[in-house]
Amino acid sequence: MTYAGITALVESVDKILHPAEPAMHFYTLLVVVISLVARIFVGRHDIHTGHLYQSSALVHAGREELTHSLISLGTLISGAVYLLFHIQLAGIVGLVISLIIIYSGGTYDVVINNYGPVAHTGSVHIAVLDTMTAEDIDVLTRWIVREVKQKTHVFLTGVSIYSINTCDKEVIDLRNDVQSIIDKEPHVHDMHGFYYDKEKHSIRFDAVIDFENNNPQETRNAIKNKILAMHPQLLVYITIDPDLA
């Protein structure tokens, strides 16, 4: 999610610096409205159901869906303003939304172990920018452990790190190519931890699969082969990650 926010941020800045006339008409906005309503409905339903059954994972999924609805809302606002007043706001609106997404994203694979009513431990993976130093990461992880302990009484025994490439169009394009492949794979929910090593011409990421996938190795090979068909020079390392939610 953080990477998506960073990608949107870069693209939004480019739109501000190099504005282009958008291809926008009434039917486009109608589709956006339907998408916005659907995301809000699903998000609120997941949050309500999560609270009803005390499922923090479902509540988190609902909140994430509401965050994604901001993208539809931004598209709707910028499109409506352009049609009515011929003023282009796509870059500015995208910039604001990307900052919100970056702020709300970056956490994966939250695992909580329950050893009784007052004994909870857990672990989490977080995404950090590749520009952060070891000292920056040390401060960040200690702060996360402290905040989680104070607010939830869960002691995190481990905070693992994903590194995110930043502000590089080649990386963004490659990541989008891989994401387009992931989106078409059945029983594959998403990917995270994407990193492109230019010196070694290699990429690595986690593919999040659901529990109905009975052959994760076959899924891994299918994804890898499709990536190599587009970028045969790459070394591809894929970690199959079960959807713990």
User: 237: which DSSP letter?
Assistant: E
Q: Do 206 and 244 touch, CB atoms closer than 8 A?
A: no
Measured over the CA atoms of residue 70, residue 123, residue 224 and residue 232, the dihedral's sign is positive
Beta strand segments in 152-234, E: 155-164, 188-197, 202-209
Q: Report whether pLDDT(42) > 80.
A: yes
**Residue 24 and residue 87 in contact, taking contact as beta carbons nearer than 8 Å:** no
Best CA proximity match to 9, nearest among 107, 95, 125: 95
Percent of the chain with pLDDT over 90: 8
Report pTM: 0.48
pLDDT in tens, 166-223: 667 788 888 889 988 888 887 787 788 788 888 899 999 888 887 777 788 888 899 9
What is the tens place of the pLDDT at every residue in 87-122?
776 667 777 766 666 555 576 566 666 766 666 788
- Helices and strands per DSSP (H, E), number in the chain: 7, 6
